Amino acid sequence: MHTSASMVTGIVFAPLGLVLVFTAAITPQWRERQARLGPGSFLRSGGKGQGTGVRSASMEVLILLRSDGLWESCLQVENSELKQCWPVAGPYRRDPRVRLAQGLILTSLFLCGTGIVLACIGVRCWTDIPLRGIAATGGLLVVIAGLLSLTALGVYTHNLTRLGMEDPSTGIHNPRFPPHLSLRPAGSLYFGWLGSCLQMLGGSALLLSFKRPRYPTCPSCPKLPVCPACRSCPEITNKPDTDVYEVSC
């Protein structure tokens, strides 16, 4: 039995894209910034009038990594297991661009999952003839899901350095955040971009299910195609060992 290449591509790439986008959505590494704590830090102690300074126990430079995602933020000491995470809060959580990205990603995950279910029903690997309309509809939903996730990633990436740092309506910088912070995209964004592209590729392949396959022609009448369901051509039906299928897997 043989499955069309477009259906195989769609069934493989669409779930893979869904997994990558879901991984990007639940991980907090959408953007990150670093802060260095040098060995010159002192811990002041003692009573009034005492200027005794006690040097911190660690003489090495510590690098703190702060990362933000759509639903979670984390603070970690580089090259260490010390890590603390908490739900996003404050101006970052209230930023309309972050909330837009959250809504688009959730909608994308729902549409992609629904499209994959429809595609599996439409392909119908347990029968000879697939339901092409249902498979193509599933592909359309997967393509829309890919477009939504790409939009969310584009909005977030374009405003990455301004999310939670300023009032979107007035453009006034938030005084709680120093203006010199260096923000950069992190790993979750790349997972999201890759997953969205795979969704677009898998959905586009499933859309090709609308295209009807070419049937073999009847030797006695080449202008008329042979229907594999009725096998109306005598030259084909007279061969008992010949089975013609439209699509199988």
Ordered by start, the domain boundaries in the chain are 5-33+64-210, 217-249
Most confident of 4-8, 62-66, 141-145, 235-239: 141-145
The yes or no reply on domain 5-33+64-210 and CATH 3.50.50.60 is no
Residue 128: pLDDT band (50, 70, 90) is low
What's the whole-number average pLDDT of the chain?
76
Inform me whether the pLDDT recorded for 44 exceeds 90: no
pLDDT at 130: 72
pLDDT at 30 over 80: yes
Could you give the angle at which helices 5-26 and 132-158 cross, rounded to 10 degrees?
A: 30
Q: Would you call 139 helix, strand, or coil by DSSP?
A: helix
Determine the average pLDDT of the residues in 163-178: 58
* Helix or strand holding residue 27 (H, E): none
Burial 185-213 (b: 16+ CB within 10 A, else e): bbebbebbbbbbbbbbbbbbbbbbbeeee
Tell me what pLDDT residue 166 has: 63
Q: Report the half-sphere exposure of 15 (CA within 13 A, side-chain side).
A: 10
2-5's contacts with Cβ under 8 Å and 24+ in sequence apart are 2/245, 2/247, 2/248, 2/249, 3/123, 3/125, 3/247, 3/248, 3/249, 4/208, 4/209, 4/213, 4/247
Residue 47 pLDDT greater than 70, yes or no: no
How confident is the model over 119-143, as a mean pLDDT?
A: 83
| Residue pair 101/155 in contact by the 8 Å Cβ criterion | yes
User: Does residue 124 surpass a pLDDT of 70?
Assistant: yes
Q: Is the pLDDT of residue 59 over 60?
A: no
- Comparing 173 with 25, the larger pLDDT belongs to 25
**pLDDT above 70 coverage of the chain, percent:** 65
What stretch of H or E contains 36?
strand 31-37
**Structure confidence at residue 72 (pLDDT):** 92
With the CA atoms of 156, 159, 161 and 163 taken in that order, what torsion angle do they form, in degrees rounded to the nearest 10?
A: -70
Q: Is the pLDDT of residue 12 over 50?
A: yes
> Are 139 and 112 a contacting pair, CB within 8 Å?
no
